[in-house]
Amino acid sequence: MVAVLDQADTGSRPFRAAASDGNVYWCKYPMSDHGREAVVNEVLASIVGEKIGAPVRPWTILDLDRSLVGTIIGESERIFRLPADPLFGSLALQHCAVSKAVGEVDQDSNYSKFPKLFALWMLCDAGDVQMLYDFDDESAVCSIDHGLWFASFMCLPWSLDLPAGEPLPMLRKRIPEVDWQKAIDAVAKVDMSLLDEFRTAVPPEWGIEDKQLQRLAQFVCDNRDRTIEKLMDYKQRYGMR
């Protein structure tokens, strides 16, 4: 990361930054108001999304240019200094809108995307579900802001024995049965190989114990059967031939 552009006024205080690869990313760091668990959740949810083919933004782990370490960002009570630790970066979009509502179902390839989004939300016990609609790509949808996922509450992150159970967004349009089935088939392939990907992706500087990554990978796998069952129900209720 070579330059800080601006900051969003939200709980985790993400900021836009330019990277040496020429791209702009929304960045989150381990010591935000939501805690280090929130930035780990961003990484793990992205991995699970990629695993099942759910639409998540391209992401990367960013290292700061040394000249930026200690740079002051924000105003008033929201001031903080950039740490030396790696950051999570989500590729920014230029023309888009954030929503908590399922919409534009029949636009672009969204028919195939929404079943896998529902799968992702259930596998990772998503809290504070948010979607991004890309106006430069026929309102193509993707999932963003995964900080309060994996049964995380503001004061109780990773309460894996107490899933958040947040209601899923309402679905008001039918989706082809074949797309529901593709989501079901993708979820059926989820297994503990996730753990190796979690271990590889989470920077050691974030101080996350391996037993925690094991718990989180197992949590996703434990949600597999109930997710398939729910997707089959959606297929019956909201499917079309």
pLDDT in tens, 135-146: 999 999 999 999
Residue numbers of the domain that contains 149: 3-240
Task: Calculate the dihedral angle through the C-alpha atoms of 22, 24, 29, 32, rounding to the nearest 10 degrees.
Answer: 160
pLDDT of residue 75: 66
Tens digit of each residue's pLDDT (9 = 90 or more) over 64-83: 888 888 887 766 666 778 88
| Chain mean pLDDT for the chain | 90
Query: Considering its fold, how many domains does the chain have in total?
Result: 1
pLDDT of residue 10: 66
Residues 6 or more apart whose CB falls under 8 angstroms from that of 80 comprise 13, 31, 72, 73, 74
Contact 58, 91 (CB under 8 A): yes
Say how far apart CA 191 and CA 195 lie, in whole Å: 9
| Residue 156 CA, distance from chain mean position | 18
Record the pTM.
Answer: 0.93
